[in-house]
Amino acid sequence: MSTPVVKIENLVKRYKELVAIDHFNLTVNEGEILGLLGPNGSGKTTTINCLLSLLSFDKGTVEVFGETMRPDSYRLKRDIGVVLQNVAVFDTLNVYENIDYFCGLYIKDKALRRKYVQEAIEFAGLSEFQKFYPKKLSGGLLRRLNIACGIAHKPKLIILDEPTVAVDPQSRNKILEGILELNRQGSTIIYTSHYMEEIEQICSRIVIMDKGRNLANGTSQELKQLIKNNETIYIDTLGLKNEHLTALRQMNHIYSVEYDQQQLIVKCSGGSHNLIHVLGFLQEQNIAFGRVYSELPTLNDVFLEITGKELRD
């Protein structure tokens, strides 16, 4: 069994009549990259603030590294790195000075701090920009500086809140590669993002939360098995009659059949070789068909089915 780095049990946080966190449970094991997903207002940021003991809460327990987290748990907090969605660096300090300042909050030995700062600069790909001030950096470089400031002291637990917002694909790729490298070096990571492809790419486990509750928990593949739609088949064909559609609906694992503008759309729940079975039926009925393709559910499909499709603030 992996050692829990974070253990949240029965967490409740209220703002007067509003229940922001509703008996929330979460365990993050050592070595994981845990993706924390949820719509706007789902309670992700509130949960992180309670985890860091930046917010008091009404009920429940929060343990980090096996100890209860409190506002004055400075020894625990030294082993935590936080990278927030809003870039938090000093405009009056250059790249090197910013990283040195944040690293110095935890590392007092000057020689060791210089070593760590230089390693963070190289890690974030900022070697050519050490003397640049934040206002002179592109959005991608600024994000990488933000990450370097949060991880320079080599924390065991890293919390990354939307670290790739509004950056170009090259910078996003650099950041994601860096997160995977941090994990390989031994850091446990909690990662929040609205980019589903990022979550699938780097996270070993995913938690979907909404309205302050933990709604689903598992690997990307495990979560996809929770929803009804396991496969959607699209076939361009002519001449389908109502009796053909009725027969298709009666086949095993098919729960929806639509025929519109000469395209057959078949949705399947479970089963295997569904496409082969549908094509076999068409051939038996001497029905010609053209383009054929099949889509498996995405993490975005899972997210929308679990949390709903209504707009959020």
- What's the pLDDT tens digit per position in 129-141? 999 999 999 999 9
- Same structural domain for residues 140 and 255? no
Residue 38 lies in a domain: yes
Mean pLDDT of 75-101: 95
- Same structural domain for residues 169 and 283? no
- Same structural domain for residues 65 and 148? yes
Average pLDDT, the chain: 94
Mean pLDDT of 75-89: 93
pLDDT score, position 1: 56
Helix axes 95-104, 110-123, angle to 10 degrees: 130
- Across 50-144, where does the E strand assignment appear? 59-64, 67-68, 80-83
Residue 291 lies in a domain: yes
Residue 99 lies in a domain: yes
- Same structural domain for residues 160 and 18? yes
Of 224, 252, 284, the last residue of a domain is 224
Residue 163 lies in a domain: yes
- Same structural domain for residues 236 and 215? no
Mean pLDDT of 92-120: 97
pLDDT score, position 161: 92
Using a pLDDT cut of 90, give the percent of the chain over it.
Answer: 88
Q: Is the pTM of this model over 0.75?
A: yes
Q: Which residue has the higher pLDDT, 313 or 215?
A: 215
pLDDT-wise least confident of 60-64, 214-218, 304-308:
304-308
User: What is the residue-wise DSSP string for 11-70?
Assistant: EEEEETTEEEEEEEEEEEETT-EEEEE--TTSSHHHHHHHHTTSS--SEEEEEETTEE--
CB neighbour list of residue 221: distance below 8 Å, 6 or more residues apart = none
The tens digit of pLDDT for each residue in 173-195 reads 989 999 999 999 999 999 999 89
Q: CA 93, CA 304: separation in Å to the nearest integer?
A: 43
- Same structural domain for residues 165 and 271? no
Of 164, 193, 224, the last residue of a domain is 224
CATH number at residue 10: 3.40.50.300
Residue 21 near residue 214, CB atoms below 8 Å? no
Residue 309 lies in a domain: no
pLDDT score, position 313: 64
Structure confidence at residue 3 as a pLDDT band (50, 70, 90): confident
With tokens 């509004």, the residue in question is 166
- Same structural domain for residues 146 and 252? no
Residue 134 near residue 165, CB atoms below 8 Å? no
Mean pLDDT of 239-268: 96
- Same structural domain for residues 28 and 131? yes
- Same structural domain for residues 99 and 14? yes
- Same structural domain for residues 150 and 15? yes
- Same structural domain for residues 57 and 148? yes
Total number of domains in the chain: 2
Mean pLDDT of 8-22: 96
Residue 303 lies in a domain: no
The tens digit of pLDDT for each residue in 68-81 reads 999 999 999 999 99
Residue 184: which region, alpha, beta or left (left: phi > 0; alpha: psi -120 to 50)? Answer: alpha
Using a pLDDT cut of 70, give the percent of the chain over it.
Answer: 98
- Same structural domain for residues 261 and 191? no
pLDDT score, position 80: 97
pLDDT score, position 32: 96
pLDDT score, position 166: 80
Residue 313 lies in a domain: no
Range of the domain at 152: 4-224
